Chains A and B, each alone.
Chain A
Amino acid sequence: MIQVNVSKQLHGVNGEFQLDVSLEIAQGEFIALFGSSGVGKTTLLRCLAGLEQAEQGNIVVNGEVWLDSDARINLPPQQRHTGYMFQDYALFPNMTVRGNLEFALRKGADKKRVNELLELMDIGALQHRKPDTLSGGQKQRVALARALASEPSLLLLDEPFSALDAEIRARLHDEVLRLQRHFSITTILVSHDVSEVCKLANRVMVMEAGRIVQQGNPIDVFSAGQTSGKFRFTGEILAIEPMDIMFSLTVLVGNQIVRVVTMPDEAARLRLGERVMLVSKAFNPMVLKLGG
C-alpha cells in the first residue's frame, strides 16, 4: 500500500498553481495519471522518486516513510528504490547494456537479476552493445530492464512510449504489462494517450491544474457522458473530400486508415489533423473471422 499526500507550488505557463494530491495505491496496482501537459503529472512522479521535494506532505510506501515534512524526513532518491523510466531513455552512454543494468542493482545484489532481466526482456544479444548503437525501441527495452534492476517497490513511467512508432509502442505495452504482472510491481504511468491508458492501467486519475479531478476504471472514466453507441474509435482526420452529395472523411485510427461518409454540414465543421471520435451502434459492425 502506498499513501501519498503532497502539495507543492508550481509555475505553469499560465501562472502559478498548487500541486495538491492525495492518493492511495494498493500493492500491484497499475495507475495512470492522465492530463494535458503542465498539469503536474511529471512533478508528482519526481516527488515520489525523490527527485523533487514536495513543500508539504507525506509519502508512505509499504509502511516505510519516504517523506514526512512535519518530521523532517525526506529519503534521498537512492534510498527510495523506485524504478524510473523517461521518454528520452536516459541510459548511460559510456556503459554497455549490461553495465547500465548492473549499475542500477542495489548494493550487494545478486548479478543473476541482470541475467534474468536480459532474458525476460529478450535483450541478451544486446548486452555488450553501447546505447548509441541501439534503436529507439531497443533503448526503451533496456531502460525498462534497468528501471526494474533495483527491485523497485514502485515503477514510475513518464510517457516512456510517446516517441516510439505505433507498432513498437504496442509491443512495449505488452512487455510492460507482462513484467508488471511477473514482478507484481506497483506502477504509475504518466500518459495523455487514451488507448495506452485503457490498455495498461486498471485505474486512471485525471489531473487538471495540480489536482486529481476524476478517477476510476479507464473505460468508465473516458466513456462517461458519451453516446450509447458502444463502438467507438478516436482518430485523426487525414482528408475531407466531397463525394456526390456527401463528404468522405479519411481517418487514421491507430495505424489503420478508414473512410467514413458524412454530411456536408458536418464536414464543414471539421479540419484536417483534428481528432474525432467515430461512433457506431454495437449492432452495425459485421464480424468476419480472420484466417482459418
Chain B
Amino acid sequence: MNRLKGQIVAIDHSSHMSLVDVAVGGDIFTATLLETPESADYLRVGSSVTLLFKETEVSLAKSLSGLISLRNRIAVAIRSIERGDILSAVELDYRGNTLKSVITTRAVERLQLTAGDQVEALIKANEIALMAGHHDH
C-alpha cells in the first residue's frame, strides 16, 4: 500500500460525497469519498490525513501531453524496476518518499522504462482512500 502524509486544504461536498483536496509537499492530491464532513469528524480543513492507494492503481506516463480527466499527476523518478513474468514493480522517488507502481512488464518494455527516468505517476481520485491522522503502517 502506498502511503503519503498530508493536510486537508479543501473539501467540496454534496449530501453523500466529498471531493477532498490534500496538500502533500507542494502538490495537491484529490480523493473522492463516500463520506462528508457531517458523517466523518476527520474531514476538516487543516486535518492531518494519510493518503492510501494500492500499487496496482498507480499508472506511469512518459512525456504525456494533451488533456486528461485524471486529477492526480505527480512528477517522480524511477529508482528501480523489478520485472516479473506478467507484472513489474516500479519503485519511485516522490519528493523523498517511496511510492510503488505495479504495471505490466509489457508496459515497462513499451515505455522503455529504466532506473533514473523522470516520469509522471497517475492515480484516479476514487482510488485514493483517506485515513485520519498520520500512519506509517
Contacts and interface: CB of A to CB of B under 8 A. Distances in A.
Contact of B34 (A246, A279, A282): A282
B72 interface: no
Given A228-B40, A261-B56, A281-B126, A245 B88 contact: yes
A245 B100 CA distance: 12
A283 B40 contact: no
B135 to A, nearest CB: 9
A276 B103 CA distance: 26
Interface in B72-100: 82-89, 100
The range of chain B's interface size is: 20 to 34
A227 B133 CA distance: 10
A283 B40 CA distance: 18
A4 B131 CA distance: 37
Contacts of A225: 132-133
A244 B102 CA distance: 11
Contacts of A229: 129
A230 B130 CA distance: 11
A253 B135 CA distance: 25
A274 to B, nearest CB: 14
A228 B89 contact: no
A228 B84 contact: no
B134 to A, nearest CB: 13
Contact of A246 (B35, B102, B127, B129): B102
B11 to A, nearest CB: 12
Given A245-B84, A246-B87, A263-B100, A228 B55 contact: no
A59 B94 CA distance: 61
Interface in B8-32: 31-32
Contacts of A256: none
7 contacts: A225-B133, A227-B130, A228-B35, A229-B129, A245-B102, A281-B34, A283-B34
Task: Sort A-B residue pairs by CB-CB distance and give the 6 closest, nearest first.
Answer: A245-B84, A244-B84, A283-B126, A282-B34, A227-B131, A228-B130
Given A230-B35, A281-B34, 12 more contacts: A226-B131, A228-B31, A228-B33, A228-B131, A261-B56, A269-B137, A279-B129, A281-B126, A282-B34, A283-B32, A283-B126, A283-B127
